[in-house]
Structure formats: C-alpha cells, structure tokens
Structure 1
Amino acid sequence: MHKYSPVFPAATQIIIIALCASHFLVGCMTASAAAGQRAADSRKPVIIDTDVGSDFDDSVAIMLALQNDELDVKLIVTATNDTTARARIVAKYLLATNRTDVPIGIGLAVNNCRQTLFSWADDISLDSYQKDHGGVVHEDGVQSMYDVIKASAVPVTIVAIAPATNFPALLKRYPDAVHRASVVAMSGSLYRGYGNSSQPAAEYNVWQCAVCSRQMYTAGWALTTTPLDTCGVARMYADSFDLVLGGLGPYSTILLASWIRWCSESGSSACSLAPLITDVFYDAVAVTLATSQGAKFMDIEARKVVVTDDGHTVISESGTEIQAALNWHEGGTGLSAFQMWLGGQLAKNSASSLP
C-alpha cells in the first residue's frame, strides 16, 4: 500500500532535522538533573493508562505529564491491542528523556493488531531496557496499578486516555481501589461530537468497550472527564506549535521524531498543514485536567451520565454523577490560553534553559 508522505514547509524541516541530529544527546543527559530538582513530595501522584501508538495525542499527553511540575508520574500502563508493543513505545520515550525511573506496566491485551507507531519502537527490547538501562517493566499492569495505589500515602489519580479495558480487572481484583484513587478521563460526548458537531457521538474510548467504560463510570470513585465537547477542538496552531519546534530539548526532540514517523504511517491530513495546524490532541486535555490549570481553562460542571451499550454517554437523572469539562472559557483565558500553555510545557527542559 502506498504510504502517505507529509510535506513539511522548508523551515519546519530544517528545525526538525536540527532537533533530531544536534540536540538529542545533550538534552538526554541534562533532563535527569532537571527532574531531580523537582519537589516530588508536593506533586500529585498519577498513573497514565494509555493506548499510545495509535493516535498521536497519547504521545503528547505522556510528554506533558512527564514534564509538568504538578504531576508525579508513578506508572505508565498500556491498554488495548498488543500492549507489549505499546510498552516498547513508552520505553523508547523514557529512554530518550532519561526517565527510566518511571515504571511501565503491560496492561491486558485485547488482540495483536498492529497500530500506527508500533514499527517505530521495533528496535526496543524490553529485556535490554531493564537489564542495560535500569528500566522497570511490570508484566501484570493491573497489579502494578494497584501496587502504586496501595503504596501511596495520598490518593492517586488515574489519567485514563485509552479504552477502559484495564478497569474491570482492577475493580474486580481490588475493589478497595475506588477509595484510594480518582480518575480523570478523556471520555464521552455530552453535547457536542467529533469536529465540534452539535450531534453527540459514540466517542472512541467508550464505544471500544462500553461495558468497561460503564464499570469505570459507576465504580464509586471521583470521576472527571473531558468529553469531545472540550477535547475535540484541542488542536495546536502555529503560534503555540512553534514553541515546540524551538524547544531543542529531549522531550520536544523525541516527540517530533515520533511525530514525523506517525505522520508517514498514518496519512493524517493535518500533518501536511504543520506547523500551521496539528491533529487534535484529545488526551493532552485529560492530563491538563489533572493539574490546577484545568479549571483555569475550562468550565467544569456536574452531570449525571449513563453509558449505553452502543458507546454513547447520555445525560440522565438515573445516571452516575461525574464532573465534566463542558466548555472552554471565553476570550483569552480558554482554548487559546491552553494552546500556548501546552506549547510551553512541551518545550520545557530545553537544552538552552537547563543549567
């Protein structure tokens, strides 16, 4: 099959080549020192539950979480399809950013379908990642989720940015997890659908396993979501994406390298428009909601929601009450502010800004 080859503007190509060739090793060596300077005890412990390797928004969300000063990423657990292949992608990101201190959990595999970015990490051996680089990989990702939750002195936030296929096993094996954790999820569609349509849709993470999502919604823990109403319009434009292109650090370098590969494999039309516009970064909004910035950018309101068998999230008096980010604030404090903030976050820990 003919593969789509994105056409990047000349200036963008020059910047990306410089990033990937000149700053990769320098950035990797300095990132660890910067991470060590963070005040870990004041940060919120989080678990990232991700289907990284399909759409690119998971990659953006992981990089955002790893760099955010408010979040302490205790575990990244993979979900759906070939979860071991997804773990190799996570390992490649952690190696490049010198963050092998973050454990990886291999979640429940659904099938072995190859996804867009899988081949990018085919050169990663999880055995070597552990033996030669000091990384930690847990074969039972659900068990590792509970181990983090149980060991934490404060409640853990699970940032769910994948179909909820790991949640039924977690809740069945460890029902007390609902008293020790909360969930922030990219999930559902309440008033608006894909493309900012006025017609709500069966959002992907929900309809992929509606039964799983229903269990996540009704478990009894605090649940906050960014439905398509807010995350569905979370693109980046030139003014914010230029911050990432100019970051020259380990996070932006590996992110852009994987983005180029994702574009060549996915055929996304948004890639040919970069840096004027990006694809939708749905999952980055969920990570943002896990920080104090979420309430600064979005209106978060209580709604009672039912998950239907066909994957819709319907507002109903008989539903479970959740907190949902329904709208971006108007004016300069909403979506545009988020876009600039996201660009700045992804460009953090650049070689030029580190001591």
Structure 2
Amino acid sequence: MLAVLCCWLAGGIRAQEPQRLRVLVDTDVGSYLDDTVALALLVASPEVELRCVTTCGGDAETRAWIACRFLTMANRREVPAAWSRAANAGEKVGPLFQYRYHPAVLFNRTAKPVATDAVELLYSRLVQRPHANTLLALGPLTNFAKLLETHPDCKPWLARIVVMGGAIRVGYNGRPPVAAEWNIKADVAAAKAVFAAGVPLVVVPLDATAQVKLSVPQRDRLFAAQTLLTQQIETMFQLLDDETPALFDAVAVAAAVLPDRFFEFDEQRLAVEASGVTAVIPGAANARVARALKSEEFVAWAVDRIAAHGERTQPRALQNHTTLVPQGNLPRQVHTFEDYETDIEKRWWLSGRLETNGVPPPGRRAFRSVLTLDFDDRQGDLKSMYPAVVFNPVPGPPMGENTRLSFRYRLHGTDTLRVQLYSLSKGYHRYLSVSGLPQDRWEHGTVDMTQMRRPDGTGGALAVDERIDDIQFYVSPTAQVSVDDVVLYDAAPAGEARPFPKRFVFTGWFDTGKQGVEWPGDFDIVPHQPPGKWKAAKSRLHPETGAPWLRISFRGLRPIGDTTALRLRYHLSNGSSLKLVLANSRSGATLTKQLNDLPSGRWEELNLTFSARDQADAATAPSALDELRIFVPAGAELLVDDVLVYEP
C-alpha cells in the first residue's frame, strides 16, 4: 500500500509540473548580436525545451556552423542544427565568420549541422512531438514558408508562430513613417505565405523592438558573469564592435516565453504588401501583435537570466615563464611577418579584429584581441575563453636554429602575455609567458621561441626544420592585448652588423606550399641538391621572349618607402648577368638593377638597395610593389631562395 501511495504521489507531482515550451527556432545568426543573445536566452530559460535550430539568409551553411559552435560551448550540443538548401536572400556573414573559422569547428570538436535540409529537420522534430509546438522566426521566413508548403499536415501541431518582424506604425528609429522591416522584406513571398497560412501568429514588430538596446552598464554586468555562455556573446560583441547593440530577436524570445510580463498586445489582421511593409487590414484577427514593451524591465530580466546560467570560469595559472630578449640585427632568415597594413593575408587572421585608433606611426593598423577558445585542444584550458590575436603563417615554414618572435604590443588589464605556437611537425602546441610588462602604451618585445614548452612542461625546444603554424598571443579573460609588426625569424648570425629592418615588405622561401597557390608567379619549385635542404624557385622560359626568367608575385600590392632593400640567395648556371626588377604590375612603375660579371655554378647571396633617386625618372617610381621579376640570359638557368624585401 505504501509503494502504491508513493507512486501515486510521484505521479501527481509530475502531473503538476508545468509543461515546457517546445521551441523550434529559425535564425540568421551571424550578422548581428541580437540573434546570439536570443539563442542565449533560449538556452538559459528553464521554461523552454529547445527542439532544434535552423538557419536562413545568405551564407546559411556558415550560420549553421556558427549555431553549432555556440550550442556546443553552451553545453547544448544535443540540439540539432541544419541550414536551408534553398536559395536564400540576405547578406553574407561578415566579421562573425571568424567564430565559425576556429580549430574547434574545423577539426570536429564541436557539433556539426545534420545532413538533412532545414525544412526536413523541422518536420522530423514536429513528427516526434506533434502537438503544442512554437516556431520562432528570428530571420527571413523562407524556411517556415517552405515547411508549411511542403508539409501542410504539420499545421495542427503548431500552437503558434512567433515572428520577429514587420512594423505597424514606425521605422527603425522608433518613429513614423513605417518602414519595411528586414526579415519581412528579405523574402516577401515567404512572409506572405506564413501570414496567410492560418496558423496563430505572435508578431513582434519594430514598434516593440526598435529602441531596445543593450546599454553599456547592462553589457558590462552581463560580461562580468564570465560564464562560457556570456563569453560567447562577448566574443561576437567584440567581433562586431557595436557599442550598444539592438536586441530585436531577444525581444521575440520573451514574447514566446513570457508574453504577459513585458508586452502590450493588439489583436489585428496583418498582411504583407509587395514592398515588404506589414499592413493592418480589415477582417478577423490572425495575429497577436506586440504594440509596446517594458523595455528597461525586459533588458534587466534578459541580462540577469543569461548571466545566472552556468558557472563562472576559472582561468588556469600560467607556467613556462621567461623574459624578453634583444631583437638583434638583420635576421638570418625571416619565416613570416604580419603588419596588418594590407588585407593580403586577411584570410589567415584567425582571432582578433583590426583597430586604427592610437596606432603609433608609421603604422596605420594593428590587431586587437577577441575572446576565443584556446587553440590547444590537447593540454590547453578549454573551460574558459581568452582574448587572443592569432594568425596562421601559411604554408607552415620550417624553423632555424635560433627562432625569435618580434612584435609590438599594448596591454590593458594585465601585465602578462602568453605567446603560443603550433607545431605541424609534432602535432601539439607550446607556449611561453612573460610578466611584468607595461600596460596601456605601445611597447616592443622579442621572445626566444626555443624557450616554449607544452603546458605540462614537456615537448622540448623547437628543432631545426620543425614546421610551425598558428602564431598566438593570449591574455587573461578580462584583459585586452593589441599586436602589430609580428616577425618570426631566425636570429642574426654572429658578425651581422646590419640593423633589424624598419619594415618588411615580402619574404619568400618556397620550402613548403605550392607554386601558383601559396607562391604565385612564373617559376617552378624544385628540391635543393644535397647537401642543401628543402626547395627553391627555378626559372622558366618567358611566354613571349622564350628567354629564362622568374616572376615572383607578392600576392598583392605592398607599400614601400623611399628606400627598398632586396636580399636573396641564388644559383646561376651558364650565365653571368641578371636584371632584377621590383614592379607594380598595375601601374607599370618599376625599380631596376642590372648586374654583370656574376659568379656562376654556386650558391651566392645577393644584397641590393633600390631607391627612386636612382631611377631615370624618379617621379614615376612605384609607391607599392606586387612582384619581383628576374631576367636571365638565354641558355642560362637560375635558382632563387630566401627572398627578403624590406625597408632598411
């Protein structure tokens, strides 16, 4: 009897538990912060059973990967995500592409979008629980319209469709005249279909959302929580760099979860005009329309709810302490550099964003850290996120005997910097840390990269010919670092008297990577003859003259100063002269040197200085270069390696 009573009581308690709101959300996350805040609010709301996330808009697949990384970091990787295979209207993903292009995503450490189309994922989830479902539209209505068209049998399974979209009386400034709101205007046909489908609608237009922003005090309070969930929002905030972002989509979440707490509603009949304007028309109401919002109360509730979800992260203490070292003179070899003055290598900027304020001359741009997950997935701290500047020196250069890393930096909120490198040869990361550094001003630093070790102290020093990847600068989670003029190089040999260059223009070494891809131009890449190692560039026959030459592309225009230096190693066979031309292929301007009586049959080093003053017409000298051309005598052959163009 006691067992029966206990079972009856337990069943009664379960019967009294409120049923959670089943939400299937469609979003164009990846353009603005409001979609991210909306997803965070759904994750943090105990009233919500998040059934799936689908993505729409331009770059819908990228948006699905962004959603998957977000859900994984929010400890909700079980929530499936899919993207629309339909032709999606809308803008491309901009700065938030960096959130998708992270090793955690690229190397399968996060959830993946499911193989099926967004519409079929929505339908399959509805079939599993075919009653009292809420569709939440945070982007253009493409996917929901297709769902209702393809599977009209699902309509009885829907309690409502909540739409963040439209405008009844106002525009984006919160005042008349009315405007065509983006989510409706982006796919008018889809919006028309959804509004006419006969499914109950809750519409959250600009009237209730246009002036709802995350203020600086509320933003600071949210980010002070330092949970993995708030760190995802902070990461995207830093990438977007909008001081007080609008919260359109987060308001729609509140309309779905707690509609009676923050809103005033009107019962109206809505239709979508061809222009994308949402019109109130005569007839029986088909929508519950949010007319007004208790804005301050809503934002405070949203911030409190998200900030309270999850545990505060605890950053790991650093090891592998070292000190700065002298920069030295002209390096033996420059493996890679980045000064952020051009967008040539932009695709390899893996963490951070450009900044232009306060960059000391002669530079105009630097890179400011953005929160990211440690790239070290083996021994790194994956329970927190860290502000980082990361770039990938494709195609993974091999190191020399004395690897150094030189850079300019500005720290804020910490005196400690972690410098980390990935070894392609070893398959793991090493780092070193430097403390006692000045803050809030630009400084120069150089570190001895042979002092790096793995987090547990193992790994040993960088070895000769070890290939590296992903140069990384990290600071503590609440700090910031800006970085500029990064140079990875082999230290100057004993007796080198020439000073460290003022600025680097181009370096080419051909040891790894492919001709025409990482090393564009007209030449072949061939192995060195023993005892030489790795590879060099070899002359080809000119397509017009038939004479041998090399054209080494710099992958884009690179600015130069009044004086430009060129250093390279060469091996000339069956010839004694060379003509070297630094060129701007777009303007036709060149800097030229003719060399005669050169040694033949052995490797030599060549050092030249080019100046506009040496040209016949200094006024036509280039201010930027994009290629090196070397013309070789007929019947001769030229090998070139370790090309370095710099401003002395």
User: If the TM-score is normalised by the length of the shorter chain, which range does it land in?
Assistant: 0.7 to 0.9
Shift of 1:127: 8.1
Indicate if the aligned counterparts of 2:135 and 2:161 stay in contact, CA closer than 8 A.
yes
Indicate if the aligned counterparts of 1:305 and 1:319 stay in contact, CA closer than 8 A.
no
- Counterpart selection for 2:21 from 44, 49, 60: 44
- Write the distance in 2 (CA, Å) between the matches of 1:112 and 1:305: 23
Q: Which amino acid aligns with 1:304?
A: R
Match of 1:347 in 2: 307
- Counterpart selection for 1:203 from 153, 156, 181: 181
Q: Which amino acid aligns with 1:309?
A: A
Shift of 1:126: 6.4
Match of 2:231 in 1: 253
- Write the distance in 1 (CA, Å) between the matches of 2:257 and 2:50: 12
- Write the distance in 1 (CA, Å) between the matches of 2:187 and 2:139: 10
Indicate if the aligned counterparts of 2:130 and 2:157 stay in contact, CA closer than 8 A.
no
Match of 1:60 in 2: 37
- Counterpart selection for 1:287 from 250, 253, 269: 253
Match of 2:163 in 1: 185
Match of 2:61 in 1: 84
Q: TM-score, with normalisation over the residues of structure 1?
A: 0.78
Higher strand share: 2
Match of 1:141 in 2: 118
Match of 1:327 in 2: 292
- Write the distance in 1 (CA, Å) between the matches of 2:80 and 2:115: 7
Classify 1:153/1:309 alpha carbon distance in 2 versus 1 (closer, same or farther; 3 Å): closer
Shift of 1:243: 2.5
Q: Which amino acid aligns with 1:177?
A: C
Indicate if the aligned counterparts of 2:104 and 2:110 stay in contact, CA closer than 8 A.
no
Shift of 1:120: 2.5
Classify 1:308/1:183 alpha carbon distance in 2 versus 1 (closer, same or farther; 3 Å): same
Unaligned runs of 5+ in 1: 1-38, 264-269, 272-277, 329-333
State the SS of the aligned residue for 1:215.
helix
Indicate if the aligned counterparts of 2:213 and 2:245 stay in contact, CA closer than 8 A.
yes
Shift of 1:157: 0.5
Unaligned runs of 5+ in 2: 1-15, 314-648
- Counterpart selection for 2:52 from 72, 75, 89: 75
1:149-176: CA deviations, max 9, x gaps?
1211532101101011112321121002
Match of 1:33 in 2: none
Match of 2:98 in 1: 119
Shift of 1:238: 3.7
Number of equivalent positions: 296
| Counterpart mapping for 1:18-33 below 5 A | none
Indicate if the aligned counterparts of 1:103 and 1:136 stay in contact, CA closer than 8 A.
yes
Shift of 1:257: 1.2
- Write the distance in 2 (CA, Å) between the matches of 1:93 and 1:133: 9
1:287-340: CA deviations, max 9, x gaps?
111112x32111012011110001000111058621101012xxxxx2111010
Q: TM-score, with normalisation over the residues of structure 2?
A: 0.43
State the SS of the aligned residue for 1:194.
coil
Classify 1:115/1:127 alpha carbon distance in 2 versus 1 (closer, same or farther; 3 Å): closer
State the SS of the aligned residue for 1:299.
strand
State the SS of the aligned residue for 1:137.
coil
Could you tell me the percent identity over the aligned residues? 24
- Write the distance in 2 (CA, Å) between the matches of 1:69 and 1:282: 21
**Residue 205 (structure 2) pairs with residue 220 (structure 1):** no
Match of 1:235 in 2: 213
More displaced 10-residue stretch of structure 1: 138-147 or 222-231: 138-147
- Write the distance in 2 (CA, Å) between the matches of 1:230 and 1:296: 14
Indicate if the aligned counterparts of 1:190 and 1:200 stay in contact, CA closer than 8 A.
yes
Shift of 1:225: 0.9
Indicate if the aligned counterparts of 1:160 and 1:184 stay in contact, CA closer than 8 A.
yes
Indicate if the aligned counterparts of 2:43 and 2:74 stay in contact, CA closer than 8 A.
no
Classify 1:336/1:138 alpha carbon distance in 2 versus 1 (closer, same or farther; 3 Å): same
Indicate if the aligned counterparts of 2:25 and 2:136 stay in contact, CA closer than 8 A.
yes
- Counterpart selection for 1:102 from 79, 88, 92: 79
1:73-113: CA deviations, max 9, x gaps?
11000002121111111111112122111100112342695
